[in-house]
Structure 1
Amino acid sequence: MESIVVLGGGLAAASVVSELRERGYTGALSLVSEETELPYERPPLSKGFLQGKEEPADFTVHDASWYASHDVALRLGVAAISIETAKRQVLLADGSALDYDQLVLATGSRASLGGGTPMPGYDLPGVHVLRTLADAKSLRAELAEGAQVAVVGSGWIGMEVAATARQRGARVTVYSPSEIPLAKVFGERLGNHLLELHQSNGVDVRTARVQGIEEVDGHLQVLSDAGSSRADLVLLAIGALPNLQLAETAGLQVDSGVVVDASLRSSDARILAVGDIAQAFNTALRRQLRVEHWDNAIRQGKLAAATLAGEEGSYDWLPYFFTDQFDLGMEYVGHGSPEDTTVVRGDMESGEFLMFWQDGLKITAAANINIWDANDTLRGLVGREIAADRLSDPAIELKDL
């Protein structure tokens, strides 16, 4: 009987095994993860868990009994170290090996420590990254009221943690490499809105590049081109790197991720890639795309299961993600560019509005900010050509655009 092995301990890996069993796959099924925890969702790590509002059981995909009752062999706390494609075998760090007929790589990402050379001081006590539950537990334990927190980086993780830390009563400084956080993703208009949101909530956002971290008289010192400042704890939020080592040892085609087709098969037809590492061909956008978000992990997990089951399917959905920062909740769908023209429907100062990104008349992306139940409608508008004055006119119902 056919054997399928899934390498990874995140939502994408769990989605693959869940969907396979739901589709009636009865063959041998194994899930291997270097982490000791059961597969879990990662968005709460910078939000609910760090705030103390959620615990691991709240975002663990399935409990242990589900894997047992669905005959999924779990190999937790052991790393896969290489793939022998000729033998169709995965070698594990404990010296054992797993045979496979089909293999799914869902190895996720790791935190960047600073380009080719790790940032000086990255390994000092009190310096954190945030990619795993273990990281989040360590950070949460030190995130005390009144603590001076330094966040190096102003991407999603950095800004979400800054908001959470501030809400927990910490003093927060964000060191942003750009004057407007997230402008390279959204352009300046929404970037400025997010910047003002943080500043109005007491976050000190500094445009500065950090050269390193030192320990001075029992405290951390952040060294930047804007001078040095003291911190009780530091979060390095300077990006993530896809875990491509296994794909490379297997000789798969790799670019910014594992290059896969629209059905998620790699250059080796027996090996699929999903989630953060998958640079997949998106049939809606007609381009290879690598997306590191919760929604994509679920959808690609389900698509991979369909592909493994021999069904026809393709990566044809638009990217989606969400964020929560202070009293701002946002959903975004599409694939816009910071050079796109932005159109706002509603009053940005009120905190409740819609935003569209346009290339000419074509809508490339849309977001709802504190306006709920709009995202499905926005998804249907992406890709259409609509005049900006109609998009911004609240007198015209979204469904009538």
Structure 2
Amino acid sequence: MTHFVVIGAGQAGSSLVAKLRTEGFDGDITLIGGESVPPYQRPPLSKAYLLGEMTKERLFLRPEAYYADHNITLKLGTRAVGIDPAAQVVTLNSGEELHYDALALTTGAHPRELPARIGGSLENVFTVRDLSDADRMAPAFKAGARALIVGGGYIGLEAAAVAKKRGVDVTLIEMSDRILQRVAAPETSDYFRTLHESHGVKILEGIGLEELLGDSAVTRARLDDGTILDLDFVVVGVGIHPATILADAAGLAIDNGIATDTFGRTSDPHIWAAGDCASCDWNGQRIRIESVGNAIDQAEIVACNMMGQNKPFVPKPWFWSDQYDCKLQIAGLNLGYTEVIVKKGDGQSHWYYKHNELIAVDAMNDPRNYMIGKRLIEAGKSPDKAVIADPNTDMKALLKA
């Protein structure tokens, strides 16, 4: 009997094994997950779940019974510690060895942590990546507490929004010149800076962290401009790095993650990769797309290709972030943009152009223009910039042009 093994029981891993079954694969499937709970949604961890608005069970992508019902062996609380590509064997931390006919790596990514030498190992210094992180953080988010958020990306801003909703006094620091500098235009940075400051978040840009202080738990922070902050907890949101240790040890090609070809195959013909751990080609650049949508799309294509369907993976990047009553939706990738057109209406949207080509849209409480922008980008259509800027333009008509 053919045996497919999937390492990593997150969004990509769960999507992959489900797709194998819906596509008619009738062989053995084993899904290996390091956590003790079945695959679950991660985005709500830093939002609805942390706010107490979503129960743990509602996080689960599928009921645990789904896996048994579909003859999928789900190994929870289990880690793969080695891969032997020549023998096509995965070794688990229990010592068990699993032979595979095809292997998929959906190992995700790990949050970047602060070094211990500057206090990163003190108690009440949190990162946000998995369920245990959220459970550990939740008691700290109480009215009157004082928090430092390190990092002005989307994770840091979402944590700041949740903390303010809980009545926490929040200071957010960003080492770069502005928040969201790595991922968005200054116009989007300005929008979210104004939003957070209107809710009472103190944002300090161009300022880094020198040291966290405290005997066992953090009590103060010293910033690199000499400022001392009294604190009750710290949330670190300074990015993630792909989980490639297993792949690297197995001799697979690593290039900004586990390098995959058009079909999701790694440098080994029997091993595939999908999700945050995998890099793919995008217009001549090797990129990773860190989003739920990409994890699902890439994993489902890999599932089909593990069955020999040879379907190319064409990335269709889209992202979202919820902060206060603002829903940010992003379509496309803004890499190399040369101009941004700001469009205001019921909401606000920012249209990224690379010379005359529309490459991305940021939409804040503007779902209609988000969907129009997404469809234009996917269709390869680039309306004239003056047309986008014109408040009287019938945006929907652009889809028929």
Is 2:395 aligned against 1:398? Answer: yes
Of 189, 194, 213 in structure 2, the residue corresponding to residue 196 of structure 1 is 194
Aligned to 1:182: 180
Q: Is the 8 A contact 1:14 1:39 kept in 2?
A: yes
Across the two proteins, how many residue pairs are aligned to each other? 394
Q: 1:392 to 1:94 in 2, by over 3 A?
A: same
Of 374, 382, 387 in structure 2, the residue corresponding to residue 385 of structure 1 is 382
Report the alpha carbon displacement of residue 374 of structure 1 after superposing the two structures with TM.
3.9
Is 2:363 aligned against 1:364? Answer: no
Amino acid at match of 2:396: K
Q: Is the 8 A contact 2:124 2:218 kept in 1?
A: no
Q: Distance in 1 between matches of 2:22 and 2:272?
A: 19
Aligned to 1:232: 232
Q: Distance in 1 between matches of 2:41 and 2:117?
A: 28
Q: Distance in 2 between matches of 1:263 and 1:18?
A: 18
Amino acid at match of 1:33: G
Report the alpha carbon displacement of residue 293 of structure 1 after superposing the two structures with TM.
0.7
Q: Is the 8 A contact 1:330 1:367 kept in 2?
A: yes
Q: What is the SS of the residue equivalent to 2:316?
A: coil
Q: Distance in 1 between matches of 2:330 and 2:275?
A: 18
Q: Is the 8 A contact 1:186 1:338 kept in 2?
A: no
Aligned to 2:209: 210
Greater shift in the superposed pair: 155-164 or 310-319? 310-319
Q: Structure 1: where are the runs of 5+ without partners?
A: none
Amino acid at match of 2:356: L
Matches within 5 A, 1:112-127: 112-114=112-114, 117-118=115-116, 120-127=118-125
Amino acid at match of 1:228: I
Q: Is the 8 A contact 1:186 1:337 kept in 2?
A: no
Report the alpha carbon displacement of residue 222 of structure 1 after superposing the two structures with TM.
1.2
Report the alpha carbon displacement of residue 217 of structure 1 after superposing the two structures with TM.
9.6
Matches within 5 A, 1:245-394: 245-282=245-282, 285-337=283-335, 339-347=337-345, 352-382=347-377, 383-394=380-391
Q: Distance in 2 between matches of 1:238 and 1:279?
A: 20
Matches within 5 A, 1:35-50: 35-50=35-50
Report the alpha carbon displacement of residue 355 of structure 1 after superposing the two structures with TM.
1.6
Give the alignment's Cα RMSD to 1 decimal: 1.6
Q: Distance in 2 between matches of 1:4 and 1:231?
A: 49
Aligned to 2:85: 85
Q: 1:221 to 1:84 in 2, by over 3 A?
A: same
Q: Distance in 1 between matches of 2:166 and 2:137?
A: 13
Deviation digits for residues 1-57 of structure 1 (CA, Å, limit 9, x no counterpart):
110000002100000001111111110000001111111111001111111111221
Report the alpha carbon displacement of residue 288 of structure 1 after superposing the two structures with TM.
2.6
Q: List 4+ stretches of structure 1 deviating above 3 A.
A: 216-219, 373-376
Q: 1:7 to 1:218 in 2, by over 3 A?
A: closer
Q: Distance in 2 between matches of 1:27 and 1:287?
A: 36
Q: What is the SS of the residue equivalent to 2:276?
A: helix
Is 2:220 aligned against 1:221? Answer: yes
Q: What is the SS of the residue equivalent to 1:172?
A: strand
Q: Distance in 2 between matches of 1:182 and 1:287?
A: 21
Q: What is the SS of the residue equivalent to 2:172?
A: strand
Identity of matched residues, %:
30
Amino acid at match of 1:336: N
Amino acid at match of 1:223: R
Q: 1:23 to 1:62 in 2, by over 3 A?
A: same
Report the alpha carbon displacement of residue 332 of structure 1 after superposing the two structures with TM.
0.5
Q: Is the 8 A contact 2:122 2:218 kept in 1?
A: no
Q: Is the 8 A contact 1:16 1:305 kept in 2?
A: yes
Amino acid at match of 2:355: G
Q: Distance in 2 between matches of 1:203 and 1:162?
A: 7
Q: Is the 8 A contact 2:122 2:217 kept in 1?
A: no
Q: Is the 8 A contact 1:214 1:221 kept in 2?
A: yes
Report the alpha carbon displacement of residue 158 of structure 1 after superposing the two structures with TM.
0.6
Q: What is the SS of the residue equivalent to 1:386?
A: coil
Deviation digits for residues 179-228 of structure 1 (CA, Å, limit 9, x no counterpart):
32002311211111111111111001112111221116975211211322
Q: Is the 8 A contact 2:275 2:298 kept in 1?
A: yes
Q: Distance in 1 between matches of 2:335 and 2:185?
A: 7
Q: Distance in 1 between matches of 2:218 and 2:20?
A: 50
Amino acid at match of 1:222: A
Deviation digits for residues 61-111 of structure 1 (CA, Å, limit 9, x no counterpart):
111110110011111111111101111001111111111110000001111
Q: 1:132 to 1:119 in 2, by over 3 A?
A: farther
Q: Distance in 1 between matches of 2:27 and 2:370?
A: 38
Is 2:27 aligned against 1:30? Answer: no
Q: Distance in 2 between matches of 1:151 and 1:334?
A: 28
Amino acid at match of 1:26: D
Report the alpha carbon displacement of residue 338 of structure 1 after superposing the two structures with TM.
6.7
Report the alpha carbon displacement of residue 157 of structure 1 after superposing the two structures with TM.
0.8
Amino acid at match of 2:292: W
Q: Distance in 1 between matches of 2:341 and 2:250?
A: 46
Q: Is the 8 A contact 1:31 1:75 kept in 2?
A: yes
Report the alpha carbon displacement of residue 336 of structure 1 after superposing the two structures with TM.
0.6
Q: What is the SS of the residue equivalent to 1:324?
A: strand
Q: Distance in 2 between matches of 1:290 and 1:217?
A: 37
Report the alpha carbon displacement of residue 175 of structure 1 after superposing the two structures with TM.
1.2
Q: What is the SS of the residue equivalent to 1:266?
A: coil
